[in-house]
Structure 1
Amino acid sequence: MAKQERGTRSRQAILEAAAEVFDLRGYDAASTNEILARSGLTRGALYHHFPSKESIAMALLDAHGGALFAPERTTKLQSIIDLTFAFAVQLQRDPVLRASVRLAVEKTSFPRPVDTPYEQSTVAIGELLAEAQQHGEILPGLDVGDATTVIIGAFTGLQVMSQVYTNRDDLPERVSAMWRFLLPGMVAPGLIGNLRVTPPSEDLVAADVARAEELAGLAAAEAAVPAP
């Protein structure tokens, strides 16, 4: 058990070191030497967990799915809104998630997997919107696929702008503005006044982020268990 725990810690240390390097330099400019230097581990330890830089990048992309946890709210639309706020907070503080997002948006030699962060986000937001439609929360006739594409595209563009201008310090404010503009074209009459488009309380955000990080950690631990 102790050996397994050390292996899990080593794997996480490699991922966090790689995330910092990828986030700073991008995939192509990142080197395993710099990853090793930041992790404080040996090359043997690295290759025990990851046979290549590409395999590290694939593991980082897996972390994206855990950040798409939808918090429980009284309406599905509020769940979607608060999911984007929790995701924004994680982008501010989690280098692993930032690296996965950078891998998704930049053009590199890294071969894109079939299940990219965009596909993961499309599934998560699309399913929530479909539930909102079933509950009568969105306008009749609204195309759920189009709405999903617009939400993901708008968030992606805003987080890139926020990164460029403020290192994502103002990302929650930009997300709030996004929803103020999007909701009138989406929400069923009478509901829009009941939706909060400002960040939740710090305690609520902390709980949402903690749950998302717990799910991401469980996914990472499952991925680290070798196949029988």
Structure 2
Amino acid sequence: MTVAQQERAIRTRRVILATAAEIFDERGYESTTIAEILERADVTKGALYFHFPSKEHLARGVLAAAVTTDGVRPQALKLQELIDIVLLLAYRLPREPVLSAALRMAIDPQSRRQFGTRWVDWTELLTALLKEAKERGEVCADVDETETARMLVCCWTGVQVVTEGLPGSYDLAGEIASFLRRFMPTIAEPGVMSRLTVSAERAAHLHDDMPAWRSETGESEFVGLTP
């Protein structure tokens, strides 16, 4: 396969996965058909099955792609990196079907029984950051990193699910920032807390900076969807 063919195959895979995520998000996994994905993605059945042998493989691909730290730059404080990951995810989720579809499948009992979730991956990712932050003296000595990471994942998911079901409209990044402003002082050393930035505005800035981040890292717009 030539370089041009490889690049075309990667683009096709990304389009198929993004399209499947859109329809999963709109209709749910069970109600989505391969025919709908083919029509909207404008690809052949052979192209789809080359990359994804079944609808189940598409669902697992969406779940895997949603575990992402794309757009988060290294920071002087590891706790700031953790905050940035959590804030940026909240800002991106309403704007990116891959992320919202993954969450929809994770909280749906039938899909969860069939595919599981990637909450373990998120817990491990945040645990690693918390351990490094603790080694640097940013986190209180009595904090259990794994337990804290698990609670972060639980609370983030709960904030999204509850606010989505409330009357009126809520800015998820703003709600997550409000939660973090109350949560972070329970784990951060006092001298560190005052140096952390937690706001919906920071989430928007991180999102606006993503094109520059992709240019610097060589990632594409569909980073996280690569084979």
TMscore range, shorter length? 0.7 to 0.9
Deviation, structure 1 residue 24: 1.0
Q: What does residue 76 of structure 1 align with? A: 78
- Equivalence for 2:143: 142
Aligned counterpart in structure 1 of residue 225 of structure 2, from 220, 223, 227:
220
Runs of 5+ in structure 2 lacking a partner? none
Listed as ranges, the matches of 1:11-90 within 5 Å are: 11-67=13-69, 70-90=72-92
The 10-residue stretch of structure 1 (201-210 or 11-20) with the greater mean CA deviation from structure 2 = 201-210
Cα distance, 1:2 vs structure 2:
2.9
Do the aligned residues in 1 keep the contact of 2:87 with 2:203 (CA within 8 Å)?
A: no
| Further displaced range: 171-180 or 157-166 | 157-166
Unaligned stretches of 5+ in structure 1? 224-228
Aligned equivalent of 2:124: 123
In the alignment, is the contact (CA less than 8 A) between 2:23 and 2:32 conserved in 1? yes
* Residue identity opposite 1:79 in structure 2: E
Deviation at 1:162, TM superposition (A): 3.4
Aligned residue runs from structure 1 range 96-107, under 5 A: 96-107=98-109
Shift of 1:117: 1.8
- The answer to which of 56-65 and 160-169 deviates more is 160-169
Say whether the 8 Å CA contact 1:32–1:53 is kept in structure 2: yes
Is the CA contact (8 Å cut-off) linking 2:25 and 2:97 kept in structure 1? yes
Q: Which amino acid aligns with 1:59?
A: G
Amino acid paired to 2:148: A
Give distance in 2, aligned partners of 1:71 and 1:6. 29
Identity across aligned pairs (percent)?
Answer: 33
> Under a length normalisation based on structure 2, what TM-score does the superposition of the two structures give?
0.85
Residues 131 and 145 in structure 2, CA contact (< 8 A), matched pair in contact too: yes
For the 8 Å contact 1:76–1:128, the answer to whether it is kept is yes
Deviation at 1:196, TM superposition (A): 1.4
In structure 2, the residue corresponding to 1:108 is in which secondary structure? helix
Change (3 A) 1:80 1:213: farther
Which shifted more, 123-132 or 32-41? 32-41
Q: How many residues align?
A: 220
Match of 2:8 in 1: 6
Q: What is residue 226 of structure 1 aligned with on the other side?
A: none
